[in-house]
Amino acid sequence: MTNIAKKNQMKIKNIIYIVLALVFVGLILYKIVSSKPVQTQGYARQAVMVNLQVMRSEQFTETLAVTGSVEANEEVILKSEVSGKITGIHFNEGTRVAKGDLLIKVYDDDLQAQLVKAQANLKLTEDVEARQRQLLEKEAISRQEYDVAYANLQSAQADIALLKSQISKTEICAPFDGSIGFRKVSPGEYITPGTDIASLVNDNPVKIQFSVPEKYAGAIGKNSMIQYTLEGMLQERTASVYAVEPTINQATRTLQMKALTPNGDRALTPGAFVRINVRMETRNVLMAPANALLSESVGQKIFIYRNGKVEPVVVQTGTRTNNRVEILSGVNAGDSLITTGLMQITPRSDVRPAKID
């Protein structure tokens, strides 16, 4: 055998040895890999740790928070009914006055003179009527002559009543108890029926005007109680609804209401801003944490834990508080609601409870 043939045999043997070695290594690697399939698959199916909340029926009192404003019980701008010169101002600005108190006096000397004349004429017509009545009783005059004397008497009485009415209009008095504001006139000023004199406000009690969304129109009505606070005041006060607007505002979709509240301490100033809380009726509800709900195109969705698996449920929600939401339908009392790990789970995922509330 030549040297070339011997070399070819050696190369073939080396190739065979290398192939056998590779096969042997491959068998070893296969055994190693095939011996750990369960561990690898077990890691992929590892359960997600979640917190659960058992849904329980509880009593809930819904509170409607709105804003409102304080209004005076009564408020007028005082004006004169007649033209004339002011002869007297009988009030101090910013003080309280009583109903009937004289506030402004307008010149009336001419009317007073006419009244004196009319009173003298009345005395004369009274005497004439008395004499004519006596003569009529004796049938000394006709009935027609007496009727003329009686008509003159009635005319004189009417003249006096008219003058007294005109004189009363020269005296501007307080129409109700209240606080009077700054005066806008001065002594000696000539005023007309359109002249503003001062504002008069009755602020005990006061009214609170507010609006509620139309969905609550049937829940709040006359005699309903509301609680309110003033800006910067911690103490809560109570008022009673006394009037409800008969129609809903089409622009705002709200219903206007007014409540009445005592103001003996004068803490409420007309025009002030108030925060109002209206407590609705207490009812039994199912409440869920707000962060346990996910928004989808079909609505609100939650995840329920059943038999170690995740089950998605579409729910209908109701009233919301700061961190909880009322569940109207979709779940029942006793269901276990998943409250954590919502981004890590999918329907039918394996989960393991870490905490149950």
The per-residue pLDDT for range 18-49, each reduced to its tens digit, is: 766 676 666 666 665 454 444 444 444 577 88
Which of 231, 249, 282 delimits the end of a domain? 282
Please give the Cα distance from 146 to 132 (Å, whole number): 5
Is residue 176 assigned to a domain?
no
276 and 291 in a single domain? The answer is no
- Per-residue pLDDT tens over the stretch 169-220: 999 999 999 999 999 999 999 999 989 999 999 999 999 999 999 988 888 8
- Is 309 in contact with 348 (CB distance < 8 Å)? yes
Q: To 10 degrees, the CA torsion angle through 222, 271, 230, 233?
A: -150
301 and 274 in a single domain? The answer is no
Q: Which range marks the domain in which residue 163 is found?
A: 108-169
Beta-carbon contacts of residue 53 (< 8 Å; ≥ 6 apart): 288, 289, 292, 336, 337, 339, 356, 357
Query: What is the count of structural domains for the chain?
Result: 4
230 and 297 in a single domain? The answer is no
What is the token pair recorded at 103? 């506030």
Mean pLDDT of the 123-130 span:
93
Question: Torsions phi, psi of 112, nearest 5?
Answer: -65, -40
Q: Are strands 294-296 and 196-213 parallel, antiparallel or unpaired?
A: unpaired
Please give the Cα distance from 6 to 12 (Å, whole number): 10
Is residue 342 assigned to a domain?
yes
Helices marked H in the chain: 3-34, 37-44, 109-137, 143-168
Taking Cα atoms as reference points, which of 282, 284, 292, 283 lies closest to residue 54? 292
Is residue 192 assigned to a domain?
no
Is residue 90 assigned to a domain?
no
Mean pLDDT of the 152-167 span:
95
- Is 73 in contact with 50 (CB distance < 8 Å)? no
Q: Tokens 């409440």 map to which residue? A: 287
Whether the pTM exceeds 0.75: the reply is no
What's residue 70's pLDDT? 95
Q: Are strands 48-54 and 351-356 parallel, antiparallel or unpaired?
A: parallel
Helix (H) or strand (E) holding 213: strand 196-213
Mean pLDDT of the 89-112 span:
95
- Is 67 in contact with 133 (CB distance < 8 Å)? no
List residues bridging with 199 in a β-sheet. Answer: 77
